[in-house]
Structure 1
Amino acid sequence: MAERILVVEDEQAIRDMIVFFLKQQHFEILEAEDYQSAVNKLAEKPKLVLLDWMLPGRSGIQFIQYLKKHEETKGLPIIMLTARSAEEDCITCLNEGADDYVTKPFSPKVLLARIDAVLRRTYQQESNIIDIDGLQIDQNAQRVMYQQTEINLSVTEFKLLHFFMTHPEKVYSREQLLDFIWGNDIYVEDRTVDVYIRRLRRNLEACQFDRYIQTVRGSGYRFSNHFND
């Protein structure tokens, strides 16, 4: 899915140039020509804002302040686009919460590189969140969530679920799961896998994800959202 960028720029020629270029790079673009229309566009949940300093109504700095005051937008990354190139202007933008600062005129390729860098910095942890049908596992935070409710798992149960969700649709024997989860340096009986599978299913039962952990007779277990009902 294309990243959605909000371009807030009152000069139509500049806005059209930015929009044309970014659409060629397969971004989805929202456009705003003033402060209020920019506020209205936030309902469409952009992933990044390209923001002109001088806007009709209120300034880009005031728009940054608006974003930082609201919980749902305070983490939204912002790249300021402005003809004001003095060092103190750059410092003002960064201190207010902008993530980067690009002076006009600018190269579209440089702008693209800045966009990619800011998106990467801001959302790099998202790549550590695995989502299958709404069940989310966050390796960084060691959390499992479903519909904003945390599912409490032991360390070993978490490791087992993480392995399954990162290797869906594949069948693994008990021996393979022992090696992957416990390591081959530790002696654990094969039936220990069965015990932890039962515990994991029990913890996932409330959100009906227990049936995703399927027994394949004579082979082992797999994690799948394809059922034989």
Structure 2
Amino acid sequence: MLVYIVEDDYSIQKLVEYALHSKGYEVLGFENGRDFFGKLEEQIPDIIVLDIMLPDMDGISILKKIKESAKTDSIPVMMLTAKDTEYDVVNSLDLGADDYMKKPFSVLEFLSRVNALLRRNTKGKAELLEFEGITLDALERTVTVDDEKVELTFKEFELLKYMMSNIDIVLSREKLLNFVWGYSYEGETRTVDMHIKLLREKLGEKRKLIHTVRGMGYKLSARGTYEQENI
């Protein structure tokens, strides 16, 4: 799960990032609306944590812009506010915010509310990921290639699932390592290369969909020329 945090208070941003990382979330932090919207054009997160008071654009204006776009209006948004006025809370909720927390707040309560928003947002969504003949069932934890079942290890399954959730996006070895093996994992990125090699072997002809982007990482894509690498 990918979380965007828009918060200009460095200490709060890092506290929230650490808490989310500890629970296995991928997190990107932004100190202003400009950087946030720039990244939002590239990749859609699963949830947004948004401060009301920001240097270049206030959180209410950002929230309004998020909810006015068909591309982003379904993303759950949690507002963070140091303000105590009822108006700010009501205004945020009226504009489409899903929840809010007043600073200072309990980290445990924050994590609980984030989990609740994500469960609510994913309820009823398809648990199947499909791409170019590969089908991954997140509930049954099965993978088929052209209707033939493929046996994957836990890490191989998580690696494929993450890549199928980010089609045509270059994923660095560090990002794959952090997401699949855990934020505190102290191994080397060589581990990623070895698992990519094993995953390719099990995907057969579909191995050509996993592209090596030299100097950067890997991406799952139907576009481009596959280049076999020696790992």
Report the TM range for the smaller structure's normalisation.
0.5 to 0.7
Map 1:155-174; keep pairs closer than 5 Å: none
8 Å contact from structure 1 (residues 49, 79) kept in 2: yes
SS at match of 1:111: helix
Q: 2:103 maps to what in 1?
A: 104
Change (3 A) 1:224 1:78: same
SS at match of 2:123: helix
TM-score between both structures, scaled by the size of structure 1: 0.58
Deviation of 1:125 after TM superposition, in Å, equals: 1.7
Q: 1:31 maps to what in 2?
A: 29
Bigger radius of gyration among the two: 1
Map 1:38-187; keep pairs closer than 5 Å: 38-42=36-40, 43-126=42-125, 128-133=126-131
Deviation of 1:228 after TM superposition, in Å, equals: 11
SS at match of 2:38: helix
Q: 1:155 maps to what in 2?
A: none
8 Å contact from structure 2 (residues 19, 111) kept in 1: no
Q: 2:185 maps to what in 1?
A: none
Map Cα deviations across residues 5-54 of structure 1 (whole Å, 9 max, x no partner).
Answer: 00100111111111112111111111100111111121232111100001
Q: What stretches of structure 1 of length at least 5 have no aligned partner?
A: 138-161, 170-208, 213-222
- Alignment partners' CA distance in 2, 1:167 and 1:22: 24
- Alignment partners' CA distance in 2, 1:107 and 1:72: 32
- Alignment partners' CA distance in 2, 1:80 and 1:31: 14
Tell me which amino acid in the other structure corresponds to 2:118.
Answer: L
Map Cα deviations across residues 161-211 of structure 1 (whole Å, 9 max, x no partner).
Answer: x9xx96979xxxxxxxxxxxxxxxxxxxxxxxxxxxxxxxxxxxxxxx9x6
Deviation of 1:122 after TM superposition, in Å, equals: 0.8
User: How many matched pairs?
Assistant: 151
TM-score between both structures, scaled by the size of structure 2: 0.57
Identity of aligned residues (%): 29
- Alignment partners' CA distance in 2, 1:122 and 1:86: 28
Tell me which amino acid in the other structure corresponds to 2:17.
Answer: V
Change (3 A) 1:73 1:86: same
- Alignment partners' CA distance in 2, 1:227 and 1:6: 32
SS at match of 1:44: coil
* Higher percent of residues as helix: 1
Change (3 A) 1:107 1:167: closer
Change (3 A) 1:106 1:168: closer
Change (3 A) 1:7 1:227: closer
Q: Which has the higher contact order (CA 8 A, sep 6+)?
A: 2
Q: What stretches of structure 2 of length at least 5 have no aligned partner?
A: 151-201, 206-231
- Alignment partners' CA distance in 1, 2:98 and 2:13: 20
SS at match of 2:5: strand
Q: 1:11 maps to what in 2?
A: 9
Deviation of 1:84 after TM superposition, in Å, equals: 1.4
